Amino acid sequence: MATDSISGLHDELTAALAVLDPQIQGVHDLNDIQSITPALDNALTSAEQSLHQRRALIQTVLDDIEALLRDLASLEADGYPTPETFPLTGDLKDELDGQIKDVETGASVFTSGALATHLEVTFGDPVPKVGIPIT
């Protein structure tokens, strides 16, 4: 079922977070060193921001996957993919059948219109544009 691949993606992204979190912490700790140059500070800050952005994107996808799995479970609990049927008592079923028959009878008076089978187009002579010679 599709949930197998979704669960696999969830596991992969969860594992990615397990790698990413210590990387973020490590870059943050490096940036706290007082003796680094402003250029290295900028590079570390940029790297940390990129890692945080990646983490946020992964977390958004994980949250969406979890919501999808909850919704899918609800849909399956509702009986999906079995089509839903609606029982009608005898009189209501008879009434519905009569309505269907009336609609079918009404629709039977219509026929398909004829489709075009021939098209003829006649073009006039070309008209030269000002400043553009005809070759």
Asked whether residue 65 is assigned to any structural domain, the reply reads yes
Residue 118 pLDDT:
83
Tell me the residue range of the domain where 62 lies: 39-69
Asked whether residue 63 is assigned to any structural domain, the reply reads yes
Does residue 47 carry a pLDDT above 90? yes
Residue 117 pLDDT:
81
Asked whether residue 16 is assigned to any structural domain, the reply reads no
Asked whether residue 8 is assigned to any structural domain, the reply reads no
Asked whether residue 112 is assigned to any structural domain, the reply reads no
Residue 113 banded pLDDT, cuts 50, 70, 90: confident
- The domain total for the chain is 1
Q: Are 17 and 52 in contact (CB under 8 A)?
A: no
Q: Is 110 left (phi over 0), alpha (psi -120 to 50) or beta?
A: beta
What letter would DSSP give residue 14? H
Q: Across residues 50-76, what is the average pLDDT?
A: 96
Residue 90 pLDDT:
93
Does residue 32 carry a pLDDT above 60? yes
pTM over 0.75: no
Number of H helices, E strands in the chain: 3, 0
Q: Which two tokens stand for residue 9?
A: 């993606």
Asked whether residue 127 is assigned to any structural domain, the reply reads no
